[in-house]
Amino acid sequence: MASLSSTAAPHVGATPSVVLRHTALVRVCHWVNALCFLILLMSGLQIFNARPALSWGQATDFDHPFLSFSAKQDDSGDVTAGETTLFGRSFDTTGLFGASRGSDGEMEERGFPSWATLPAEQDLAMGRRWHFFFAWLLVINGLVYAVNLTAGRHLRDLLPSRADLRAIPRTVRDHALLRFPKGEEALRYNVLQKLAYLSVVVAFPILILAGLTMSPAMDSAFPWLAPLFHGRQSARTVHFVLAAYLVAFVVVHLVMVLVSGVINNMRSMITGRYRIEGDAR
């Protein structure tokens, strides 16, 4: 996940300049987040495969999930195709959702394919161990980052102003045309970045609370969790949907890193140094 703050930089003239964009703490938190997110995603898909369906409420609605991955079988019981059902409409998703080839090359029933899960084989217990360990690591890392964000007064950098909101159409157009800011403007977040990063800051606590709600032990210790999400199955759905949103965020983030200068962006997140072109205005 992208880091959410940068250090102030000196005045930029008309010639290229190299500035310190990210502190060491921000860079470490960024890469810990990236590692945790990848492992949490893959282990989470392993857990989801134990019952590849989503419903709403306290109890599982086995007959009417609004999303499910399943497999079709022939008369001999062999898996022939994968099927995704969303709000009552079914789609053939063989090889990706519902059914895919295992390590032996045979088609098998799986919500998500083996290459997307951790571990690759179907092992719910091991998937839960990976998931819980890195979930707590992510929480600790997030708390460290939140303290740094607040102490450094960078939180206000994520709050769009009225001028920012009025600039949304222009910013969308510039991104569509692959026109990116130069000079000192390149060191500040545009309104789309602010809204995207702010949404992640809001989504993470909800995602964590929804995950905790799925634990019977946590429900017992904190009885207000399940009612907060209108039931454990609702919490599972919220957890899955927010995780999918974060995946979309990461995909867009990576695309923007590539099109806006992958070497410069990667260098800034590894060494902290960012090269900015002079603004001739």
Provide CB contacts within 8 A for 124, sequence distance 6+: 46, 47, 49, 50
Considering only CA atoms, which of 106, 102, 124 is closest in space to residue 52?
A: 124
> Could you tell me where the beta strands, DSSP code E, fall in 36-195?
53-54, 67-73, 79-86, 89-92, 98-101, 107-110
174's tokens: 């510039």
**Cross-strand bridge partners of residue 101:** 107
pLDDT of residue 15: 62
Domain 17-49+122-276: CATH architecture, name and number where available: Up-down Bundle (1.20)
Considering only CA atoms, which of 191, 192, 211 is closest in space to residue 203?
A: 211
pLDDT of residue 136: 93
pLDDT of residue 278: 60
pLDDT of residue 14: 52
Q: What is the pTM of this model?
A: 0.85
Determine the Cα angle at 225 with ends 223 and 230, to 5°: 110
C-alpha–C-alpha distance, residues 167 and 177, integer Å: 15
Task: State which residues of the chain have pLDDT below 50.
Answer: 1-13, 280-281
- Do the Cβ atoms of 207 and 246 come closer than 8 Å? yes
Considering only CA atoms, which of 11, 60, 9 is closest in space to residue 232?
A: 60
pLDDT of residue 21: 83
Q: What residue segments make up the domains of the chain, in order of their start?
A: 17-49+122-276, 60-115
271's tokens: 């060494």
pLDDT of residue 75: 82
**Is residue 192 helix, strand or coil?**
helix
Amino acid letter, residue 220: S
pLDDT of residue 7: 44
User: Where do we find the tokens 């607040």?
Assistant: 150
Q: What is the pLDDT of residues 113-149, one digit of tens each?
A: 999 999 999 999 999 999 999 999 999 998 998 888 7
215's tokens: 């634990």
pLDDT of residue 2: 45
b/e string for 173-202 if b means 16 or more Cβ within 10 A? eebeeeeebebbebbebbbbbbbbbbebee
